[in-house]
Structure formats: structure tokens, C-alpha cells
């Protein structure tokens, strides 16, 4: 069995930090970037540290990081997790994501907006 190769990020790298607010739940998404500007690691921090939800979204971000580093395309991850529905959900303060079904939905939609080309086809 062939083990896939993990593409780690360099020790020093650029990153993007994005603050979000979903119905009063504030948090930050930090995305570490490869040299080509593509995402290679994701950290998701909620302002309510120590909560079960905070732990779960942190674990999800770690799983997304591993998936990206082992070569799973962002398009595939976004397709799989967009629309995941759980609280908190609702209005956001982000103009391009006015409503979200969950923090997971928000995260993958933000990643799509920031890193994937806009599709010119309609479905």
C-alpha cells in the first residue's frame, strides 16, 4: 500500500485572519498559505473558548488542514461540507455571506469565496 505524501507548509509563511460573527457567536479563521497562495492549514477559534462547540470546530479545522496537506482538493471539501446545518446559524456581518447554516457552512463558503474561481456556469 502506498502512503500519500503530506505537503507541509514552510516554517515561515503568509496567512489570512478573518473575523466572523454568526448571530453573536464571534470567531476567527486563520488560514496558513503555501508559497503559491493556496490554503494549507486552517485554524478556527471561537470567542467562547472551552465550549464543546469550540472544541468541535477546532477539531474540524484540523481535519480540513490534514485533508488539504494530503492533497484533497478544496473544491471537494467545499462540496461535501457546504450546507451543513446546526446552531449557531443565521445572519452574519460578512457582506458576501449574509446567512449561514452553521460555522462549518460559513467556513467552507468563506474558503470558496477566497480561494476558488467563481463559476461562470449556472446549475
Digit-coded pLDDT (tens) for 88-114: 999 999 999 999 999 999 999 999 999
CA-nearest of 56, 41, 39, 60 to 116 is 39
Task: Report helix, strand or coil for 24.
Answer: coil
Per-residue pLDDT, averaged over 17-25, amounts to 94
pLDDT band for position 50 (cuts 50, 70, 90): low
- What's the chain's average pLDDT? 92
pLDDT score recorded for residue 119: 62
Contacts of 27 (CB under 8 A, 6+ apart): 19, 20, 21, 44, 45, 46, 47, 57, 103
Reported pTM: 0.91
pLDDT tops 80 at residue 121: no
Amino acid at each position: 500500500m502506498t502512503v500519500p505524501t503530506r505537503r507541509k507548509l514552510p516554517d515561515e509563511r503568509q496567512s489570512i485572519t478573518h473575523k466572523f460573527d454568526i448571530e453573536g457567536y464571534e470567531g476567527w479563521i486563520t488560514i496558513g498559505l503555501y508559497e503559491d497562495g493556496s490554503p494549507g492549514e486552517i485554524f478556527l477559534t471561537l470567542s467562547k473558548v472551552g465550549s464543546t462547540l469550540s472544541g468541535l470546530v477546532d477539531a474540524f479545522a484540523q481535519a480540513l488542514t490534514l485533508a488539504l496537506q494530503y492533497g484533497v482538493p478544496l473544491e471537494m471539501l467545499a462540496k461535501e461540507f457546504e450546507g451543513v446545518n446546526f446552531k449557531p446559524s443565521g445572519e452574519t456581518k460578512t457582506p458576501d455571506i449574509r446567512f449561514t447554516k452553521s460555522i462549518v457552512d460559513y467556513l467552507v463558503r468563506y474558503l470558496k469565496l477566497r480561494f476558488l474561481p467563481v463559476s461562470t456556469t449556472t446549475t
